[in-house]
Every structure is written in structure tokens, then in C-alpha cells.
Structure 1
Amino acid sequence: MSDFTSDFWSHYVAGITIIGIVACFLLLWTTARKKVASSSDNTTGHVWDENLAEMNNPLPRWWVWLFVITLVFGIVYLVAYPGLGKFGGKLGWTEQKQYEAEMAKAKAELEPLYARFRAMKIEDLAKDPQAMAIGDRLFMNNCAQCHGSDARGSKGFPNLTDNDWLHGGTPEKIQETITNGRIGIMPPMAAAVGTADDVRNVAHYVLSLSNSPHDSVRAALGKPKFAVCAACHGADGKGNQDIGAPNLTDDIWLHGYGEDAIIAMINNGKTNQMPAQKDKLTEDQIRVLTAYVWGLSHNPKSVGK
């Protein structure tokens, strides 16, 4: 109800609810007062299909009382809890309050465990079975939607089980990424590179950096044009983790492999975002999740190892 800018719908919902309850009471009351005349054999005189007679049997008393109790319960519930439009209920219950209470209870119960984790280095946390069990749940609930349940990622979403890192794979950098998120921007570079043929030549030069199949003549022609890319990726193409520029020499392709994919990237650019988790997870949870992610590419028993 709080989403509406007018009180009309609040009053409408409350009115329909109250009318419905009152109508049920009236229905029960009027039917209880009505007496149907019956014959000596306890039938009402109505007959269908030649011999199907309507009996004049009252509703079972337990059913009537159950109906009354249900209506009374509905009234008590609507007085105590939200249900009548914007009326919040006398008990002041809200989903937000219940959520906060449950979270506070869980935090209090987990505090001794997280206190032990705080005293450990990230590298040691990655070896702790209890911490990794929590880290696995945190990953599945908050990261697997993009990076996959096996953490191997997919097109546009980095593989977290290898040692290829856009912004650095140290515990500190991983924690920074999880906490604040990242925005990776590859601007369209076709105009700076030159003609469409120049773009194709640069694509072949990029392929040559990782010894991928390429046209060596085009790669040689594209090398001078790669200078406009070197500002981010470096003259040797090994990238720059300070700005998240990928390493082009390792044959790992985040947004697609091959001549066409590289040409599309040069022509159109790309913007990728890793959302910040600091508003969803506590500092302790982020630290455990950091250990879990770091362990994926360092622990022999981790995913894919």
C-alpha cells in the first residue's frame, strides 16, 4: 500500500475486506434464522431427476462454529496485523522489523565464530573448513548468478578459478572488488585506430600476442596501430591491473574469441559492472567470501582444481 501516491486504493482494499467479512456474518445469520418447511419424511419437497429429493438437514454444528471462529480470527488478525490498506495493526509488526530482528539474532549467534575468523589471515581462512562452508553459501547466494555455481564464469563474467585477474588477485584486491564493485570500460577505438582494414589488422596483431591463429602479414601491419591500445593494455599487451585493462597475451578471452569478436570490441567498446556488495553483506561476510574466492585459484581442493 505504501507504493501508492493516493489513499484511494488503501481505502478500497480496506473497504472490500470489511464488506467481505460483514457479508459472511450476515449470510450465516440469515441462513440460521430461515426455517424451511419440511414434510413428514424430512424433505423440502424439491425433487430432481424423478427421485432425487432434497433433505432438510441443518449444517453440522461443528461446521457452523468453525465458520464463526474463522471470521472472528480474521477480525482479530486484521486488528493486530497489517491487512486493511495502510492500517499497520495494533502490534506494529512489519516485515522489515521481523527481518532486522532475525538478522540481529543470527549476528549474535554467529559473533563468536566471526570473532575467530577475524583473528585469522585470509590465506588461513581459505583453509578453514567451517569458514569455507560459509563462504560457499555466500558465493552461491550472491555471486553464482554471474560467475556460475562452479565459479568458472561465462562470456562477460570472469572465471574465478584461474590466476587471470583484471584488478589483481591478492586478498586485498579481491576484498576491495567485492566491497566496492568495479566498472570496466573499454571505449570504442575504431576512429583512433583508422580504417576498417586497420581495425582488422589490429585484431590479428592482438591474436598474435597470445599465439592464437592469425594472419602474420596483417598482424605485422597492425602492430604500429596497436599504439593507441597500448595506453591501457601496455606496449607488450600484458594489461594494467590498476585500471582493469585485460592481459592480451594469455589466450583468455572474457568477451569472446577470434577475429570477429576482437573487431566488435574495437568498434563498439564494452562496459561491464561488478556490483558492490558492501550494502548487502557485512564486513565479516565479505572477508570470508574474499577467502573463499581467493582459495578458488590457490587451494588444490577448490572448485576445478
Structure 2
Amino acid sequence: MNETTDVVFLSSFWPIFISAIVIGGMIGLLLLLISQNKVEKKAGEKVETMGHVWDDNLEEYNNPLPRWWLWMFYGTLAFGVVYLILYPGLGTNKGVFGWSSHGQWDKEQQVAEQTYGPIFNGYLKQPVAVVAQDPKAQKMGERLFLTYCAQCHGSDARGAKGFPNLRDKDWLWGGAPETIEATILHGRPAAGPDGVQPVSDAPRMPAWGKILGEEKVKDVANYVRSLSQPGKVDQDRATRGKEVYAQNCAACHGADAKGNQALGAPNLSDDVWLYGGSQSTVVETVTNGRNGVMPAKGQELGAAKVHLLAAYVYGLSK
């Protein structure tokens, strides 16, 4: 595809091939109709059957095609010819109108921008926290959220495994209005520039399996879980895991395990888990790491729509 999403053929053979199939198919149908139009039934003539019988008494007779059906099919073919003259359908031929789906989309976008652009831009001049208190703006933000964000965070914004709950007050990168807006605008990769321009070059959650080994991974997993689920862990492993944590994990998650929003390192002392807090899941996380990415939406939506989205998300946790 090129920039206008029009089809680009790498060989001149394919436009000719497609056109030949289209034109040949229409000519073939026309000849078939003409041949069937010659079949006539004379008065009093007995119509022979085609030899096809169903349920012992239902037979197929060789009657001429109904005139109304023939003329309807002729009309369909005529419509097809007119369509191929006016619109694209024969290889690279763009038709008299030069129509394309991308061109149609552009026109609709221009109309939408003229209609709704001034409204969006009016909110853009207001702080996110102020927009979050406007019921009309929240309704607009909700519709944007359902269109662009619900696929990952859910229609109720409560998230899923690997996708944060946006209704609580637990924030990986911070819940200040400007921080939320920056997250939506620029994305939050867990691994630096993986096709997105990050707002932070914070490292991903690395895989510690090969570095620590299986036993130490289990120890540190038990320690981490003991911070919020003390009755559900192996206390001996948790005791050993505390030292492993201090040596390898505290740099990002903090000595108190309360996390670091500047790095996107989650709070490990509460009972909020992005990927799950079971023993097996925490072991998996420590062993293999986590590489989730929040994609940047700034280029796709523009600053004004992102501003409304940020206000909506900010308002969910208030």
C-alpha cells in the first residue's frame, strides 16, 4: 500500500489479469442469459424434465427462465458496466470519479474536524482536572475511551491481566493529570523504544531466571508475596528471599518495595497485581520478565482528543 492506501501492483500483469477476469466473467454471464432466452415453450407443448427427482415426486422441469428474472439480471449486468466506468474495479483504473476508500475517509475526517474540532480545542485550553469535572466532556471522553481503549482496559476500565485497572488509585507511572496525558500521548513501553517513542527510557522488568537460578527465584517470589499475603507463603523461603530482593530488586522497586513511578516499577507491598499474585505467576514474572507496552496515541488521535481522554481517565479514580 502507498500513502493513500490505493493498491500498488508490482507487475503490469496483474491489472490486466484482474480486468480480464472481470470483463470475461460479465461477457460469459451475458452469453449465458442470451442462450437461455432462446428457450421457448410452445402452446400445448409438454415440458420435459431434467431427470432430477427429490422425495419421489418433486421433479425439475426444463421451463424457460421467467422474463422478469431475465430482465432483472440484464439490469444487474448494466449496473455493473456503469459502476466499472464510474468507480475503480478494473486493475489500476480509478474510474471517472476517481473514488477511493482513503479519499472518502479523508473527506469524512475533514467534515468531522470542522464540526467537532472547535469543541475539542475548547477543552484543550482547559486543565485536565477542570475538564474532568465537566459532565459533557466526560461523556465525550467515555466515547473516545470505548473506541480506542476498551479493547485492552475493558469497557468498564477495570483492566485485565497485563492491562492496568484505571479505576483504582494504583498507578505504575503516576496518576497526576499531566502524567496521564503524557502516558496516552507518548505511550509507556516497558522496554525503551520498541517502535514507540517513550516518555521515559526506564528499563523493562528484566528476566532474572538465568541470573538468580530456580531456587532464588522461588525465594524472592515468596518474599514479595509475603509483603501482602503473609499467610500464604513459605516463611523460610521468604526470609532468604528478603536478602535476594535487597541485592537485586530494591534498585527499581525500592527498599520498602513500594515501587518507583518514575521507572514504572510497581508497588509490591500492596495486593494489586498487574499479571496476578499467585505463587506460580510471580515466579513466572521474576523468571521471564514482563514486556508489556502501552502504545502511543498522540499521532493517531491528536492532542485535543488525548486531552479529553486523559480527563476521563483521571476522573475515573477520583
* TM-score, scaled to structure 1: 0.85
Tell me, in whole angstroms, the C-alpha distance in 2 between the residues paired with 1:235 and 1:47: 94
Tell me, in whole angstroms, the C-alpha distance in 1 between the residues paired with 2:290 and 2:283: 12
Tell me, in whole angstroms, the C-alpha distance in 1 between the residues paired with 2:305 and 2:76: 44
Q: Partner residue of 1:228?
A: 248
The offset of 1:256, in angstroms, is 1.5
Q: Partner residue of 1:17?
A: 22
Q: SS of the counterpart of 2:15?
A: helix
Aligned with residue 150 of structure 1, among 127, 151, 156: 156
Gaps of 5+ in 1: 299-305
Aligned with residue 187 of structure 2, among 181, 191, 195: 181
**Is 1:246 paired with 2:251?**
no
Tell me, in whole angstroms, the C-alpha distance in 1 between the residues paired with 2:170 and 2:302: 27
Q: Partner residue of 1:43?
A: 44
Residue-by-residue CA offset, 1:99-146 (whole Å, 9 max, x unaligned): 010011011111232233123221121122221111111111111111
Describe the shift of the 1:219–1:128 C-alpha distance in structure 2 as closer, same or farther (beyond 3 A). same
Describe the shift of the 1:72–1:239 C-alpha distance in structure 2 as closer, same or farther (beyond 3 A). same
User: What is the one-letter code of the residue matched to 1:146?
Assistant: C
Gaps of 5+ in 2: 1-5, 52-58, 191-203
Q: SS of the counterpart of 1:279?
A: helix
Tell me, in whole angstroms, the C-alpha distance in 2 between the residues paired with 1:112 and 1:68: 50
The offset of 1:59, in angstroms, is 4.9
**Is 1:215 paired with 2:231?**
no
Aligned with residue 72 of structure 1, among 67, 73, 78: 78
User: What is the one-letter code of the residue matched to 1:115?
Assistant: N
* TM-score, scaled to structure 2: 0.81
Describe the shift of the 1:287–1:35 C-alpha distance in structure 2 as closer, same or farther (beyond 3 A). closer
User: What is the one-letter code of the residue matched to 2:122?
Assistant: R
Larger Rg: 1
Tell me, in whole angstroms, the C-alpha distance in 2 between the residues paired with 1:204 and 1:265: 13
Q: Partner residue of 1:274?
A: 294
Residue-by-residue CA offset, 1:54-83 (whole Å, 9 max, x unaligned): 8998854x6555443332221111011011
Describe the shift of the 1:57–1:140 C-alpha distance in structure 2 as closer, same or farther (beyond 3 A). closer
User: What is the one-letter code of the residue matched to 1:172?
Assistant: E
- The share of aligned pairs that are identical, in percent, is 43
Residue-by-residue CA offset, 1:149-188 (whole Å, 9 max, x unaligned): 1111111111111111111111111111111111112111
User: What is the one-letter code of the residue matched to 1:251?
Assistant: D
Contact 1:44 1:55 in 2 (8 A): no
Q: SS of the counterpart of 2:137?
A: helix
Aligned with residue 223 of structure 2, among 205, 209, 213: 205
User: What is the one-letter code of the residue matched to 1:43?
Assistant: G
Contact 2:26 2:77 in 1 (8 A): yes
Contact 1:212 1:251 in 2 (8 A): no
